[in-house]
Structure 1
Amino acid sequence: MTTHTLEPVVTPRLVWQNVRRRAWMTALLPLAVVAYLAYTWFAFDVSVLLAKAQPERAAILATDSVAHKVHVTKTFRRGELEVAIEGERTATYDADDVPDWVQLNGENAFVDLGDGYTIEIDGKTAYFDIPGYGLIKATATNDGVDTILPGGNVPEWVRVDPRKLDVRPQLDKRLQITKTKIEIHNYFAGWENFWFPFRSPLHGMSAGQFYALALSADRLDPDYANLWFIVHEFLDNPDWQHGAVFNALFETVMMAVLGTLTAAFFGLPLAFLAARNFTPSKLLRFGTRRLFDFLRGIDMLIWSLIFIRAFGLGPLTGALAIAFTDTGTLGKLFSEALENIDNRQVEGVRATGASQIQRYRFGVIPQILPVFVSQVLYYLESNTRSATVIGALGAGGIGLMLVETMKTSRDWENTSYIIILTILVVMLMDQISGWLRRKLIEGR
């Protein structure tokens, strides 16, 4: 007997309907995307945000993060002229040791900013000669600043106010005058005094001089060997605070490690209670799963704020926030891995007469170990970044130091330094976790 299979009849009308449906979908999908983007544009007031944007401010902060500036300042109250790196009293040049682009003459000075830009300070008056624009004359008075500009339109980089004059023709050249002082900023690439303080006997030494000093028996400081004196001067640098930064980084890493390991320690046994093939009680499974939802449903930042209010500031609050959130997440992932194990391996261990704990140890754990190790190490990497954000809220660590450097506009090079170190630590944690995965999972 011959069996005939009925083939679907495809009519031209049906084909045309399918073509029209696809054409409509092709046309409607881009329109839906455009409509959504238009809605978000007005819902988030993007036009208002763009109007408030200050790209020149961003350029200044970017310049400050990769360069340092030398201040030439004349304070009228003291009648003094000072040349200092970043305006710091601890990094002030002696009068006979100022940079060659500054010429001091008592209470007056001549400053060559390069590229034809020069500023002459004569008493309370500053003359700023700007190539292509002309000479700006500004005099500080008891009421503010009297300014005389060249003819024509006033450029955007000249900000004239009765109380203050701010001239910045280029990002690396600036003049500010108020009724109390004249201040000149000259920028240079690089981070000045990064290794050692300005007044340190090690400041300005070459690598060869450091090597010779470290091997020398003649001590610079009788309390330290030369090598330890070099390390001490570096870590205690008051401008860069290397020692405090490294300690804060260590706190951040420990916060992430403690929180992640605590979550894994509690998440694994709770996962057995949430797994269908290990816990017959529906009520117990339901309660455990809802506990996971509760723990991971509250964001880590919210947990950190709760613990800060409960226990005060400190790294422990950050570790607890990480532990609470990740217990819910890891517990859910582990329970799903337990529900997908191969029961034949468990039955094989049972056939040998093994106890229930031995069945878990030799029949279950080896199957979920790759998932367990992989997920714990992944969350350890992620929590290293999260610990930085939590620390910024008050939990301590490198995040708190990062926020402190961002509070003013003077320490953006320190901000860049901390951000770079944080990225390097995250990269290091990634490499270490990858190495541990290969060791523990792949057996290499």
Structure 2
Amino acid sequence: MAYETFNEPVSDRNTVFQTVRRRAWITVAVPVAVCLYLVYTWFAFGVPQLLSKAQPERAAILATDSVAYKVHVTKLLRRDIMEVAIEGERRATYENEDLPDWVKVDGTDALVDLGQGYEIAIAGKVMEFTVPDYGTIRVTATQSGVKTELPPGPIPDWIKDDPKKFDARPTLDRRVQVTRTKIEVHNYFGGWENFWFPFHSELYGLSFSQLWAIALSNERIDPSQSNMSLIMHDFLGNPDWQHGEVFIALFETIMMAVLGTLTAAFFGLPLAFLAARNFTPSKILRFGTRRLFDFLRGIDMLIWSLIFIRAFGLGPLTGALAIAFTDTGSLGKLFSEALENIDNKQVEGVRATGASQIQRYRFGVIPQILPVFVSQVLYYLESNTRSATVIGALGAGGIGLMLVETMKTSRDWENTSYIIILTILVVIIMDQTSSWLRRKLIEGK
């Protein structure tokens, strides 16, 4: 007895020591394992190779293009003409009497003041670019390419001197290019060009107060339509921003998500009764229904969309079907689990009143699963609004297809930003609407 009493404190101390040591090992081992995993993924995923190929300057240019626009001052050497246009578009070309104050054109020659001491003089086939703290760059277009004369000293990184093409970009908002066929100057400005109205519209450049006064005025700008109709027509029909087509594409995306989600809920709920253990005694029927759910949700929504595109062609219907097929499996599984967890006492209470089976379902079962039903359907509706955008990019139409089209070239990144912002706003609105409906239908507020 004395031996046991003597050893109990020692045994307790050993247990405490082992516990502390085990926790210390875990505290050290977990961070080490995480670090080793990160090191493995760093090399397994080829991150060093990706970083070596990265072009941060290209990313900076695209970021600039998404929030700014540029005015092109271009001399076409073969035709010996000078053009000043927004984004280089023919339909946004300035007339000689309306040129920006930083461009001075004399026949086919020009003097361009880019601000802060940056000046460009174009005379004949020669371009002289004055850069503060560097000097004057002289480039001459020849029959075979360009001839460049640089100030003495090392060549800056922002100059790309090639016998075929000269390209200089001392700052993000200033750029000049010279080839044997043209001399082109880019001057960047913040904002989105021609966002509200086309360049040659009578409404171009007017303030909101002026537009409001025109809308209320009885004097029509176009005798064939009211001023308000003209404002809406020029805004929606803007060829650069295509507001009307963008809004229609957004509507198609929303309808794609709504139709697909409601179809999935419509078929998922009755199938859920067949998969629930307490409503379907047949094991074969339950097994078949559950495997159907696994099959539908086991194939990704994008794969379903590709299948339906091959079967039915391009269009919003293929996107809605892809959403419906995938979500029928997901919602059916969730609804069947909710049915298996209902309180059978409420069903028995309704049965005691002499209600039929349909009435037992209506008053004893549906009220119990309604919160889950509404919550899940609204969540999937909100999520499918984003999914419909991705599906549309594959060819199902909607805003996703327009988004991909704007990303095909490096000239339309401001349009890409515009579509992304609209998509985010739609998701926010859907989120707020679903939250409001959830409170109304579930909480009764």
TM-score, structure 2 as length reference: 0.97
Tell me the percent identity: 77
Distance in 1 between the 2:439 and 2:16 partners?
A: 54
Moved more, 18-27 or 270-279: 18-27
Report the 3-state secondary structure (helix = DSSP H, G, I; strand = E; otherwise coil) of the residue aligned with 2:201: coil
For 1:195 and 1:10, the matched residues in 2 are separated by: 82
In structure 2, the residue matched to 1:371 is 372
Q: Distance in 2 between matches of 1:286 and 1:31?
A: 45
Give the C-alpha shift of residue 95 in structure 1: 1.1
Q: Does 1:312 align with 2:313?
A: yes
Deviations 1:80-139 (A, max 9, x none): 101000100000000121000000011110000001000000101100000011111101
Distance 2:78 2:225 in 1: 42
1:12 to partner: Cα distance: 2.0
Who is 1:24 aligned against?
25
1:354-403 Cα offsets, whole Å, 9 max, x none, are 00000000000000000000000000000000000000010000000000
Unaligned runs of 5+ in 1: 1-6
Gaps of at least 5 residues in structure 2 are 1-7
Structure 1: which 4+ aligned runs deviate by more than 6 Å? none
Match of 1:380 in 2: 381
Distance 1:348 1:155 in 2: 86
Partners of 1:25 and 1:43 in 2: CA distance = 26
Partner of 1:59: 60
Deviates more, 1:296-305 or 1:15-24: 15-24
Residues 364-443 of structure 1 correspond to what in structure 2 (within 5 A)?
364-443=365-444
SS in 2 for 1:139: strand
CA distance, structure 2, for counterparts of residue 196 and residue 185 of structure 1: 22
Mapped partners of 2:83, 2:328: distance in 1: 58
Q: What SS does structure 1 have at the residue aligned with 2:112?
A: strand
Matches within 5 A, 1:237-256: 237-256=238-257
C-alpha separation in 2, matches of 1:69 and 1:15? 71
TM-score norm. by structure 1 comes to 0.97
Instruction: For residues 128-185 of structure 1, give each alpha carbon's deviation from its aligned partner in whole angstroms, at most 9, with x where no partner exists.
Output: 0000111111011110011111111111110011100100000000000111000000
Number of aligned positions between the proteins? 438
- Aligned-pair CA distance for 1:10: 5.5
The residue number in structure 2 matching 1:140 is: 141
CA distance in 2, matches of 1:331, 1:283: 17
Distance apart, 1:192 and its partner CA = 1.4
Could you tell me which residue of structure 2 aligns to residue 291 of structure 1? 292
Amino acid of the residue matched to residue 414 of structure 1? Answer: N
1:224 matched to 2:225? yes
Secondary structure of 1:308's aligned partner: helix
Q: How does 1:15-414 map to 2 (within 5 A)?
A: 15-414=16-415
The 1-side partners of 2:277 and 2:10 are apart by 47
Q: 2:4 matched to which residue of 1?
A: none
3-state DSSP class of the match of 1:195? Answer: coil
Q: What is the CA–CA distance in structure 2 between the aligned matches of 1:290 and 1:20, rounded to whole Å?
A: 48
Question: What's the Cα RMSD here?
Answer: 1.2
Comparing 33-42 with 213-222, which one deviates more in the overlay?
A: 213-222
Equivalent position amino acid for 1:88 in 2: E
Counterpart CA distance in 2 for 1:291 and 1:51 is: 47
How far does the alpha carbon of each residue in 1:279-337 deviate from its partner, in whole angstroms, 9 at most, with x for none? 11111111111111111111111111111111111000000110011111000100010
Could you report, residue by residue, the CA deviation over 1:377-433 in whole angstroms, capped at 9, with x for unpaired residues? Answer: 000000000000000010000000000000000001100000000000000001111
1:3 paired residue number:
none
Give, in whole Å, the separation in 2 of the partners of 1:299 and 1:208: 51
Distance in 2 (CA, whole Å) between partners of 1:399 and 1:260 is: 18
Give 1:348's aligned amino acid.
G
SS of residue in 2 equivalent to 1:129 = strand
Deviation at 1:208, TM superposition (A): 2.2
Alpha-carbon distance in structure 2 between the residues aligned to 1:34 and 1:90: 57
- Structure 2 distance, partners of 1:220, 1:360, is 64
Aligned equivalents of 1:200 and 1:25: distance in 2? 71
Q: Distance in 1 between matches of 2:285 and 2:151?
A: 83
Alignment partners' CA distance in 2, 1:129 and 1:316: 58
Task: Write the letter of the residue equivalent to 2:207.
Answer: S
Which residue of structure 2 lines up, in the alignment, with residue 4 of structure 1?
none
What CA distance in whole angstroms lies between the structure 1 residues aligned with 2:381 and 2:154?
58
AA aligned to 1:238 is P
Mapped to 2, the partners of 1:224 and 1:387 lie a distance apart of: 37
Secondary structure of 2:35 counterpart: helix
In 2 relative to 1, CA 158–260 (structure 1 residues): closer, same or farther, beyond 3 Å? same
SS at match of 1:120: strand
The secondary structure found in structure 2 opposite 1:429 is helix
Q: Distance in 2 between matches of 1:21 and 1:283?
A: 50
